[in-house]
Chain A
């Protein structure tokens, strides 16, 4: 791996950039691996990296039906925060946040993790109660989160409309200063490059058609577009398509897949310093380093695998943005897109073992799994390597939907990112 640094950039600037090498090879599959990870999103690639880096397991393939990072990893609005209500979630996301803070250095890839602060607006008494509950709980969990008055919120984010006569007046806000955004593609590429450097094969454009199980029920490998590939351990990390892959191993997943849309404006000079989320009006926004306003909406109303998404939802989202930030009506939407998010009944993820020996799963991150990336990847790698969960992902089991031991962030927050 060519080491990245300012010096390297300078040296290459002088020699016409002759010194850069492939960041990861486009591998063809071998016949067999110790571990196969299905899905080369940031979660899958990260898990491969941690398997190699922390558990010394390098005979690993990450297989994707498309190009690495082309799923939700490359489509999300990159909000990173950890001020979740329940202990289990707070721990998972805070673990991720700890890893985010050193990720650029660890991977020697600038993932542009930007701690610019995430502010969640309360628009009614119910929001106030719910966010204060978060603030209290976070404080006792050692998670950064504080309560702001409307005036303090406006000072933190000047474009905000805190007029009392707004349709949904701002009654306060919860602010996590340590939270922010990161560059999504760089996360996928950084993990891919670091994993490949440690011997992991990244196999792209190779759909996994089925998980094959042996006579004893245990995993034997996967059937793919490039033939059968053997492995005793297979981890599925396929986001919106997880249930389809798991079905082939006869495991029914408690997942529903919905389109989730996002959009960006044309780029403008810095005008929006932080991330603002408003669950009551279903919109959230930040400004990318390039200058685009990055805006996300709630999920479409209907389950679907089509990445198209409809017009009405975008209209609603932009109406909400114009309501909270009335100065932006003349800004223009540059492009919008959709991803398919995998939603569980309690809106929390599933990371762990499955009833099938050798089969592991990481899914259900729904609308908010980018922020979890290092945490999910790290604990998934641990689970696969040791065949038992890390304490942090232990509560995120598949069985909880039969036992009822849910981690119901949805119930607590209504919408979550």
Chain B
């Protein structure tokens, strides 16, 4: 039975019940209810516990700004979540709701002992203690504090839901569909603007949903609303409900998070739970309205104490009377209207306690007409009731003195401390605010984006004013879009206008130092905490916030910031703007990680790039390794083989006959244009002018600092055309670097770059039989040593496909790299495999490639170099064009430290015992006996077993390494010290005989 549902009130669906549970107990609500409205309908106010003192709490709000009524909800495995706002989560059939942050039951939370010793937990107490003994912080104190902290429990299973992203360009984005936003959208859409209107609630209408008695253009508010929405739809306005503008970024880029399924009984199969919209709008109208402020008095946090506007919303929108005998405490006329609505719905209003001396005349008359007692110039000095407020102590204030108190019995307290314009999104843009003396509020000042603010967001009050302003701003925005527009403000009758004042904490008759007047409900920050912080020297609001945690709760300060500021500025003795307002930071309301991640999860997190030959490798049992965004075949194990065995076999097969390797991931850049040679000369260390067409050369690329950045073989295909290859991981970086130089340093060069990495599939054939395998498939190019020597390139046909054919070798064997259009890559591979059958052709992966190149002493950039290695360090001085005027990094190569003695140089290392493998990354020392810290002279960069050498071998960067050749060094490892001899890096076929075929 819902004891507090009022017949004939509310906008919910009066059809069948929606069943849900709260802490295991069954309840029924109505479709359209939130968890909070449904519980309130049953007279349940106690919904949560506070963070620090574990005080019992009920909802204060009726929206997403709720600090107290946070609950855990779940919907089967993986769909559990903490900290859900009961005031915002719509009811759905079977919803399981659980209270959180308690030990024991919600009514008897053992951690509430904290509340008994609350004086110990004053602002910043933890900075002052828990320091002794020294080792106790992370062993004892911190674990205890951590267990007590936190709100709900974290999810503990992967989330089966999907999240979506969508991009949208729109002429006008209107944020907030209250009267101002609706009027703005109508005005702009009527003028022909393409409009998107969003609101975070399930329904559009904003404050109108809570004020049905207002009359607009002769119609009751809700009829006007229905007509307005219908007109917007007719005008083609894109309307998004349950959609929160979470952040406002540069150049009118706004992030919107739309909730799609949390309110549905049965979400459609596969439907995304939430969708993040990336909106780029020509103009933005912020019509976010204003947020009601609590009043700060002793005991203002008991269940049953809530905002007057919230009570009005619960009544008019959800048909729920939050109490039978409400007492109202206010400093703004608006709370009178809440009192009237509740009284008219059958509540017995205990009293209206007005902090001000002179409330608006109109509301006083109305109160009198209803026989409601109004106490002006009164304060509240306390409340009573453990799990629900029972009474209120009030006292007159005159000349700053608090008179004799009296107790008023009530079952809920509805408070209103005035309204704060909602300027969060405006603040995201770094728009500036100015303090308005008359309103005691910050209003928008200078805007940093093409945006307008309408309605209560800029301090206007009353429906007439909001609608007129909205229409006006809508017209302004439409004109800014180049449209003809005329404003037509609706006529409002029975408007609910009013004014108010802003207060610090209310005056009290007791020792203010012992009163517990809450400012930040969730974080249990009281007025005296704020005053203590100021006393301790925290004079800026940023310091006060951080010291007390005021405004750092999950409502992001929506309830507490302004009250905190009023109290702090009073304590500091300065005007509020001089104490400052803390910056509002995105998101506007807390937003799931999933919504941000969107589609980028699991296999789509960063889509794995695969080569055209990847399916073949997979079908043939390859093991793969991730290399930057690619997956590459690592080795091809045969039955029973481990990686070492497979690699040894692949190496031997390649050196013995022929191996085939998928090199498609190599970065490829087409450098073309009349100045291509000049460009190449400037970028790479090598000379390019004399490189003949049809020839290729190893190219070395440095950074401005003179250190090796990338390398690769580069072929010249024409007077003005180079085929540049880069490392797999460096492809994008090198292209960016080249573009950067062309666009910023050498804009005069006529040269164009095209990334062709994924246009070409590249297959490498290596081994003494490579030519024999390839030759029968090639047309248009003589492959003989004379016609096509080492380091040649040609355009021809291979296996019937147009190809760029290189004769190069990264293994020391006779080698070819065949590039064909990517779509033919697999066919080429299969043709070569077939042709190679006679020669026992062996597919190999990246590991074998690494071993074979290391046997030849060829470096892998990023493994044998680390960004501190010069060409000379790597033994690559020969790659520098000696007569070149300039190239990137040339100047740096002359810096004193780059030509100093004792630089680390790339050398070979042979362990004393060939069976011992050195760890890659192991450090090299000259004296193994020294104490820690040891003087390290280098480290192992590459280390493998070599089938050709029949032993392990390594490469290392060692200080003055080339001078140490033949000498012994030591490699300390946790398992013991290894002795190794320094050698050259030409481990295999140093004279290069095997290429001369």
A, B from the same assembly = yes
A residues lining the B interface (CB < 8 Å): 4-6, 8-10, 12-14, 16-18, 20-26, 67, 69-70, 74, 87, 90, 101-102, 104-105, 108-110, 112-116, 123-126, 129-137, 139-142, 167-169, 180, 183, 185-186, 189-190, 204, 265-272, 281, 287, 289-291, 306, 308, 310-311, 314-316, 318-323, 326-337, 345-346, 400, 402-406, 408, 410-412
Could you tell me the distance between the alpha carbons of A329 and B556 in the complex, rounded to whole angstroms? 21
Could you tell me the distance between the alpha carbons of A25 and B537 in the complex, rounded to whole angstroms? 7
User: Taking the complex as formed, is B291 at the interface, i.e. its CB lies under 8 A from any CB of chain A?
Assistant: no
User: Taking the complex as formed, is B238 at the interface, i.e. its CB lies under 8 A from any CB of chain A?
Assistant: no
12 pairs, CB–CB < 8 Å, chain A vs chain B: A17-B513, A26-B539, A113-B138, A123-B626, A126-B863, A310-B253, A315-B165, A329-B163, A329-B597, A330-B161, A334-B556, A336-B586
Which 6 A-B pairs rank lowest in CB-CB distance, beginning with the nearest? Answer: A411-B867, A291-B150, A133-B921, A404-B895, A16-B513, A13-B119
Which of A101, A110, A310 has a CB less than 8 Å from the CB of B127?
A110
**15 additional contacts (CB under 8 A) given A311-B247, A326-B159, A331-B593:** A16-B511, A23-B538, A116-B138, A126-B729, A129-B863, A139-B974, A266-B82, A271-B153, A291-B150, A318-B596, A319-B597, A321-B597, A323-B605, A332-B592, A405-B897
User: Taking the complex as formed, is B668 at the interface, i.e. its CB lies under 8 A from any CB of chain A?
Assistant: no
Which of A9, A129, A326 has a CB less than 8 Å from the CB of B120?
A9
A residues less than 8 Å from B143 (CB atoms): 270
B residues less than 8 Å from A87 (CB atoms): 933, 936
Binary CB contact string for chain B from 96 to 133 against chain A (1 if under 8 A, 0 otherwise): 00000000000000000000010110100111111110
Q: A140 near B934 (CB under 8 angstroms)?
A: yes
User: Taking the complex as formed, is B156 at the interface, i.e. its CB lies under 8 A from any CB of chain A?
Assistant: yes
Among the 9-residue stretches B40-48, B386-394, B540-548, B777-785, the one with 4 or more Cβ atoms under 8 Å from chain A is: B540-548
Query: Nearest chain B CB to A69's CB is how many angstroms away?
Result: 8
User: Taking the complex as formed, is B877 at the interface, i.e. its CB lies under 8 A from any CB of chain A?
Assistant: no
Q: Which residue of A lies closest to B936 (CB)?
A: A140
Contact status of A404 and B896, CB under 8 A, knowing A327-B154, A329-B593, A332-B593: yes
Query: Nearest chain A CB to B802's CB is how many angstroms away?
Result: 34
Q: A13 near B120 (CB under 8 angstroms)?
A: yes
Could you tell me the distance between the alpha carbons of A281 and B600 in the complex, rounded to whole angstroms? 12
Contact status of A406 and B868, CB under 8 A, knowing A329-B163, A330-B592: yes
Could you tell me the distance between the alpha carbons of A22 and B278 in the complex, rounded to whole angstroms? 47
Q: Of residues A270, A287, A404, which shows the largest number of chain B Cβ atoms within 10 Å of its Cβ? A: A404
A residues less than 8 Å from B974 (CB atoms): 139
Which of B81, B119, B253 has a CB less than 8 Å from the CB of A311?
B253
Q: Which residue of B lies closest to A117 (CB)?
A: B138
User: Taking the complex as formed, is B264 at the interface, i.e. its CB lies under 8 A from any CB of chain A?
Assistant: no
Q: Of residues B535, B590, B593, B626, which shows the largest number of chain A Cβ atoms within 10 Å of its Cβ? A: B593
Q: A411 near B594 (CB under 8 angstroms)?
A: no
Which of B80, B145, B554, B925 has a CB less than 8 Å from the CB of A289?
B145
B residues less than 8 Å from A333 (CB atoms): 587, 590-593, 596
Contact status of A21 and B536, CB under 8 A, knowing A126-B863, A404-B896: yes
Q: A10 near B120 (CB under 8 angstroms)?
A: yes
Query: Nearest chain A CB to B256's CB is how many angstroms away?
Result: 11
Could you tell me the distance between the alpha carbons of A290 and B150 in the complex, rounded to whole angstroms? 6
Query: Nearest chain B CB to A168's CB is how many angstroms away?
Result: 6
Could you tell me the distance between the alpha carbons of A122 and B535 in the complex, rounded to whole angstroms? 49
Q: B537 near A328 (CB under 8 angstroms)?
A: no
Query: Nearest chain B CB to A368's CB is how many angstroms away?
Result: 17
Secondary structure type dominating chain A contacts: mixed
Please count how many residues in chain B sit with their CB below 8 Å of the partner chain's CB atoms: 117
Could you tell me the distance between the alpha carbons of A167 and B586 in the complex, rounded to whole angstroms? 29
B residues lining the A interface (CB < 8 Å): 51, 79-83, 117, 119-120, 122, 125-132, 134, 137-138, 142-143, 145-147, 149-159, 161, 163, 165, 247, 249-250, 253, 255, 276, 278, 428, 430, 511, 513-514, 528, 532, 535-540, 542-543, 546-547, 549, 554, 556, 583, 585-587, 590-594, 596-598, 600-603, 605-606, 608, 625-627, 705-707, 729, 862-863, 866-868, 892, 895-898, 919-923, 925, 932-934, 936, 939, 972-974
B residues less than 8 Å from A400 (CB atoms): 897
B residues less than 8 Å from A190 (CB atoms): 127
Q: B137 near A110 (CB under 8 angstroms)?
A: yes
A residues less than 8 Å from B138 (CB atoms): 113-116, 180
Could you tell me the distance between the alpha carbons of A268 and B147 in the complex, rounded to whole angstroms? 10
Q: B159 near A327 (CB under 8 angstroms)?
A: yes
B residues less than 8 Å from A90 (CB atoms): 933
Q: Of residues A17, A124, A405, which shows the largest number of chain B Cβ atoms within 10 Å of its Cβ? A: A17
Which of B151, B597, B972 has a CB less than 8 Å from the CB of A267?
B151
Q: B158 near A327 (CB under 8 angstroms)?
A: yes
Contact status of A330 and B150, CB under 8 A, knowing A189-B127, A404-B895: no
Q: Which residue of A lies closest to B545 (CB)?
A: A185
A residues less than 8 Å from B127 (CB atoms): 4, 109-110, 183, 186, 189-190
B residues less than 8 Å from A316 (CB atoms): 600
Could you tell me the distance between the alpha carbons of A174 and B7 in the complex, rounded to whole angstroms? 65
B residues less than 8 Å from A110 (CB atoms): 126-131, 137
Q: B537 near A268 (CB under 8 angstroms)?
A: no
A residues less than 8 Å from B608 (CB atoms): 167
A residues less than 8 Å from B165 (CB atoms): 315
Q: A329 near B126 (CB under 8 angstroms)?
A: no
A residues less than 8 Å from B587 (CB atoms): 333, 335-336
Which of A16, A24, A129 has a CB less than 8 Å from the CB of B514?
A16
Q: B131 near A268 (CB under 8 angstroms)?
A: no
Query: Nearest chain A CB to B701's CB is how many angstroms away?
Result: 15
Could you tell me the distance between the alpha carbons of A189 and B542 in the complex, rounded to whole angstroms? 13
B residues less than 8 Å from A306 (CB atoms): 250, 430
Q: A323 near B536 (CB under 8 angstroms)?
A: no
Q: Of residues A6, A139, A266, A402, which shows the largest number of chain B Cβ atoms within 10 Å of its Cβ? A: A266
Q: A105 near B131 (CB under 8 angstroms)?
A: yes
Contact status of A132 and B149, CB under 8 A, knowing A87-B936, A332-B591: no
Q: A270 near B923 (CB under 8 angstroms)?
A: no
B residues less than 8 Å from A5 (CB atoms): 128-129, 131-132
B residues less than 8 Å from A104 (CB atoms): 131, 134, 137
Which of B150, B543, B605, B939 has a CB less than 8 Å from the CB of A167?
B605
B residues less than 8 Å from A26 (CB atoms): 537, 539
Which of B125, B156, B536, B603 has a CB less than 8 Å from the CB of A327?
B156
Could you tell me the distance between the alpha carbons of A74 and B552 in the complex, rounded to whole angstroms? 14
B residues less than 8 Å from A329 (CB atoms): 155, 158-159, 161, 163, 592-594, 597, 601
A residues less than 8 Å from B549 (CB atoms): 290
Q: A327 near B157 (CB under 8 angstroms)?
A: yes
Q: A141 near B933 (CB under 8 angstroms)?
A: yes
Contact status of A114 and B163, CB under 8 A, knowing A291-B146, A311-B253, A330-B155: no
Q: Which residue of B lies closest to A316 (CB)?
A: B600
Q: B511 near A289 (CB under 8 angstroms)?
A: no
Query: Nearest chain A CB to B379's CB is how many angstroms away?
Result: 20
B residues less than 8 Å from A327 (CB atoms): 154-159
Could you tell me the distance between the alpha carbons of A385 and B592 in the complex, rounded to whole angstroms? 51
Q: A124 near B625 (CB under 8 angstroms)?
A: yes
Query: Nearest chain B CB to A198's CB is how many angstroms away?
Result: 16
Q: A330 near B532 (CB under 8 angstroms)?
A: no
Contact status of A133 and B161, CB under 8 A, knowing A4-B128, A141-B934, A321-B593: no
Could you tell me the distance between the alpha carbons of A87 and B536 in the complex, rounded to whole angstroms? 42
Q: B921 near A132 (CB under 8 angstroms)?
A: yes
B residues less than 8 Å from A290 (CB atoms): 149-150, 549
Which of B79, B131, B137, B706 has a CB less than 8 Å from the CB of A114?
B137
Which of A126, A311, A334, A410 has a CB less than 8 Å from the CB of B554?
A334
Contact status of A140 and B546, CB under 8 A, knowing A13-B122, A22-B535, A124-B625: no
Q: A114 near B81 (CB under 8 angstroms)?
A: no
Query: Nearest chain A CB to B593's CB is how many angstroms away?
Result: 5
Q: A269 near B137 (CB under 8 angstroms)?
A: no
Contact status of A331 and B154, CB under 8 A, knowing A6-B129, A140-B933, A336-B586: yes
B residues less than 8 Å from A135 (CB atoms): 921
Which of A9, A139, A272, A281 has a CB less than 8 Å from the CB of B128?
A9
